[in-house]
Structure 1
Amino acid sequence: MQFVSTRGQSPAVGLSAAIAAGLAPDGGLYVPSALPAPHHVQQGETVAETAADLLAPFFDGDALQEALPSICREALDFPVPLRPLGGGDYVLELFHGPTAAFKDIGARFLAGALSRLQAGKGRDLTIVVATSGDTGAAVAAAFHRQPGVRVVVLYPDGRVSPRQAHQLGCFGDNIQALRVAGSFDDCQAMVKQALADRALQADVPLSSANSISLGRLLPQMSYYAHAALVHHGQHRRRLNLVVPTGNLGNAMAAVLARTLGVPIGQIVLATNANDVLPKYFEGGAYQPQASVATVANAMDVGAPSNFERLRWLYDGDDAELRAALRAFAVDDVTIRATIASAHASGGELFCPHTATAVKVLKDLRAGGAKGDWAVVATAHPAKFEAVVEPLIGEAVPVPPALAALLQRPAHAEPLAADYAALREVLLR
């Protein structure tokens, strides 16, 4: 299969080349030149087996084709349970990996792919990644001490949770954390500029591990596929989804899985006060804006990169795209109230991002929504103890893997929100 840029100004490449590059030369995002036809995806006993079947058409004829089942087994070796909440409501828990966030799945898959592509190459590859909280730690954990790879993580200083910041700076070795005096959008813009800098890449081979990377996006379809197939097999009903979203990678994966024939019903997006997407899906123009800080900081994105892929999937037809998805914004006061009420009424513990989806589902039910719905739980609430614990009046248990990371010393270098400053770091 060949892959092209969403902007149409770059030559088609194979999957390995698209994964290694991260971003197309014209600044666009890689997408298949033609989507595989919808087919009956085989539900494996494990998520990894489902993933290998779902992803096989994308890897057909590529150097990574034979390694695909192994990469899936390495990346998807922890549970992603669909847990019932009652009344046809479920929560799809994606936070049981090493850094307690859904980003672990895509990051570990990408690491498995790139480690194989780097084998035998004489020059190190630098992964440069912007994070609004969870991506950076997942990427750092996936690539930590991997030979031939250096990781540079940019995050907005003061706009991630304390535990997220600790995770980002606690790895050392081949992982370098940079705390940027700016927003996530500043970090993302600097990363994109670096990936498009041909002169820099001549000296420092670069790739990306943001959700702009196909190596992150494609495997994220797997947990939606497995959950929906298991649910459909048991109940003969499609599973509807409410997906918390910032940069749109996780939501794009759900939409793509549905397009490929997975029995997923409606897909509704939940955002925080950064409401670029809700405004668009209500009929307004798509208008990126400066991001604002919220308690659901991993979704503090004012220019979601994967919107380009959504528009590509629907051939730029805004009416068709708006018919396929809905999006709703939830403010900080309501996010906090949702966390508190969920715990008080049912003992549930949700992170701020998951709570946005819980609130959106509650509103959908109040408006008469029928069927079975799953809220996508993107991170463990222990990563946001400063927000969650005062609301529930007790400590949130910390998963063992996260506790181990928090015991390590952490360090991050300050960096101006200036591309020249980042370029200098990358050239060291």
Structure 2
Amino acid sequence: MSFVSTRGQAPAVPLSAAMAVGLAPDGGLYVPAVLPASRSWQPQQDLAATAADLLAPFFAGDRLAGALPGICRQAFDFPVPLRRLATPGDHVLELFHGPTAAFKDIGARFLAGALSQLQAGQGRDLTIVVATSGDTGAAVAAAFHRQPGVRVVVLYPDGRVSPRQAHQLGCFGDNIQALRVAGSFDDCQAMAKQALGDGALQASVPLSSANSISLGRLLPQMSYYAHAALQHHATCGQHLNLVVPTGNLGNAMAAVLARALGVPIGQIVLATNANAVLPRYFQGQDYQPQPSVATVANAMDVGAPSNFERLRWLYRHDDAELRAAFRAYAVDDVTIRATIASLFASQGEVVCPHTATAVKVLQDLRAGGAKGDWAVVATAHPAKFESVVEPLIGRPVPVPPALHALLQRPAQAAPVPARYAALREVLLR
């Protein structure tokens, strides 16, 4: 299978090449030249087997095709349970049981395994440049930590991630370098994209991306949706509807692709924080990126979601058709806090601020008469946001062992201005 740019001005490449560079030469995002045909999928015994089955058509003819099952087994060695909630028909898909307690572990570990295979025998190190609004950077750092032939440079907005997120980002050392940028996530993302498009820099320092602009991150994220939906359908014969917390749109885009392949997923509803670019678009306004604003659900503080370009490609740039296919709702900080508190008081459930946006949207959908089986997507463990969650529920949130171990390590991050020249200087060192 070959892959092309959403902007149509770059040559088609195999999947390995698309993953190695991250961003297409014309600045677009790589997508399949033709989507695999929709078909009926069978439930598999575990997430690794589901991933290998689902991803096989994308890797057909690629140099990594033979290694795909092994990459999946190594990457997907923790559970992603679909758990029932108290309200009949409501579920939570828990994606935070990986080493950094966030769903980003799943795509990052797969990408690390794939690039490790591609880097074997190469004479030059590869530098991964990743912009993060909170969770991506730690997941990528953990996945690539001490991997030979790879250096990782993480950019995050100083003061706009939780204290525990910031500690995770700076605690690895070795081949991982954290930069705290005096700006927003959008500034970090723009700097990373400029580096990836800098041909002169690439000639000296081979670069790739580990944001959700990378197919190596995006495609494996389809797997947990497929695994949950197939198991659910086999058990009760119902399609699983989803409410997905959404920032850069990669997580939701993975669900959209899985559904397009024939996975029994029903509606996909997007939940954002106060950064409401997507809700405004789906309510009929022009798509207009905005400067991001800081919220308590900081990993979703995105004013220019990169994967919207892929979503438009999938719907042939037909805005009317795209708007008819989705709904998106914004949840402000006051409501996020109230949802965390009320969910704990009524059901004993503890959720992170991002998951709370999806919970609130599902509550509103049910109040409006929504039927069927639904899952809110839990993207991060609430212990990563203890300063927000604990005062609302009145008790400490137990810290998962893997996260506890990272918090015991010393951490440091270098301050940089929100200017590309500063990043370029770091990358050239």
2:94 aligned partner, one-letter code: E
- Cα deviation for residue 103 of structure 1 reads 0.1
Q: String of CA shifts for 1:27-77, please: whole Å, max 9, x gaps.
A: 000000000110122321001101111110000000000001011111111
- Cα deviation for residue 324 of structure 1 reads 1.2
- Asked whether 1:420 is paired with 2:421, we answer yes
- Give the match for residue 39 of structure 1: 39
Contact 1:43 1:49 in 2 (8 A): no
Q: Quick one: distance in 2 between partners of 1:71 and 1:59? A: 12
Other structure's SS at 1:188 match: helix
Contact 2:278 2:328 in 1 (8 A): yes
- Give the match for residue 214 of structure 1: 215
- Give the match for residue 118 of structure 1: 119
- Give the match for residue 249 of structure 1: 250
- Give the match for residue 158 of structure 1: 159
- Of the structure 1 ranges 126-135 and 317-326, higher mean CA displacement relative to structure 2 is found in 317-326
- Give the match for residue 177 of structure 2: 176
Other structure's SS at 1:66 match: helix
Q: String of CA shifts for 1:111-153, please: whole Å, max 9, x gaps.
A: 0000000000010000000000000000000000000000000
Q: Quick one: distance in 1 between partners of 2:149 and 2:122? A: 8
- Asked whether 1:20 is paired with 2:27, we answer no
Q: Quick one: distance in 2 between partners of 1:291 and 1:367? A: 30
1:29 aligned partner, one-letter code: L
2:10 aligned partner, one-letter code: S
- Of the structure 1 ranges 317-326 and 245-254, higher mean CA displacement relative to structure 2 is found in 317-326
Other structure's SS at 1:327 match: strand
Q: Quick one: distance in 2 between partners of 1:120 and 1:309? A: 33
1:55 aligned partner, one-letter code: L
- Give the match for residue 82 of structure 1: 82
- Asked whether 1:49 is paired with 2:49, we answer yes
- Asked whether 1:285 is paired with 2:294, we answer no
Q: String of CA shifts for 1:281-337, please: whole Å, max 9, x gaps.
A: 001100000000000000000000000000000000111111111100000000000
Q: Quick one: distance in 2 between partners of 1:61 and 1:251? A: 27
2:33 aligned partner, one-letter code: S
Other structure's SS at 1:4 match: strand
Alignment of 1:5-404 (within 5 A): 5-86=5-86, 87-404=88-405
Q: Quick one: distance in 2 between partners of 1:169 and 1:421? A: 18
Other structure's SS at 1:150 match: strand
Contact 2:2 2:15 in 1 (8 A): yes
2:66 aligned partner, one-letter code: E
1:54 aligned partner, one-letter code: L
Other structure's SS at 1:145 match: coil
Q: Return the TM-score normalized by structure 1.
A: 1.00
Q: String of CA shifts for 1:209-235, please: whole Å, max 9, x gaps.
A: 000000000000000000000000011
Other structure's SS at 1:391 match: helix
Q: Quick one: distance in 2 between partners of 1:261 and 1:346? A: 34
2:46 aligned partner, one-letter code: T
Q: Quick one: distance in 1 between partners of 2:347 and 2:371? A: 22
Q: Quick one: distance in 1 between partners of 2:266 and 2:42? A: 18
Other structure's SS at 1:390 match: helix
Q: String of CA shifts for 1:263-294, please: whole Å, max 9, x gaps.
A: 00000000000000000000110000000000
Contact 2:43 2:234 in 1 (8 A): no
Contact 1:42 1:53 in 2 (8 A): no
Other structure's SS at 1:215 match: helix
- Cα deviation for residue 82 of structure 1 reads 0.1
Q: Quick one: distance in 2 between partners of 1:383 and 1:22? A: 28
Contact 2:127 2:206 in 1 (8 A): yes
Other structure's SS at 1:128 match: strand
- Of the structure 1 ranges 38-47 and 163-172, higher mean CA displacement relative to structure 2 is found in 38-47
Q: String of CA shifts for 1:166-200, please: whole Å, max 9, x gaps.
A: 00000000000000000000000000000000000
Q: Quick one: distance in 1 between partners of 2:320 and 2:376? A: 26
Q: Quick one: distance in 1 between partners of 2:257 and 2:326? A: 12
1:48 aligned partner, one-letter code: A
Contact 1:106 1:217 in 2 (8 A): yes
Contact 1:101 1:380 in 2 (8 A): yes
Other structure's SS at 1:178 match: strand
Contact 1:19 1:214 in 2 (8 A): yes
Mind listing any 5+ residue stretches in structure 2 that lack a counterpart? none
Q: Quick one: distance in 1 between partners of 2:75 and 2:103? A: 12
Q: Quick one: distance in 2 between partners of 1:264 and 1:107? A: 24
Mind listing any 5+ residue stretches in structure 1 that lack a counterpart? none
Contact 2:352 2:385 in 1 (8 A): yes
Contact 1:385 1:395 in 2 (8 A): yes
Contact 2:3 2:18 in 1 (8 A): yes
Task: Work out the percentage of aligned pairs sharing the same amino acid.
Answer: 84
- Of the structure 1 ranges 344-353 and 38-47, higher mean CA displacement relative to structure 2 is found in 38-47
Other structure's SS at 1:27 match: coil
Other structure's SS at 1:165 match: helix
Moved over 3 A (4+): none
- Give the match for residue 2 of structure 1: 2
Q: Quick one: distance in 2 between partners of 1:41 and 1:188? A: 36
Q: Quick one: distance in 2 between partners of 1:68 and 1:325? A: 32
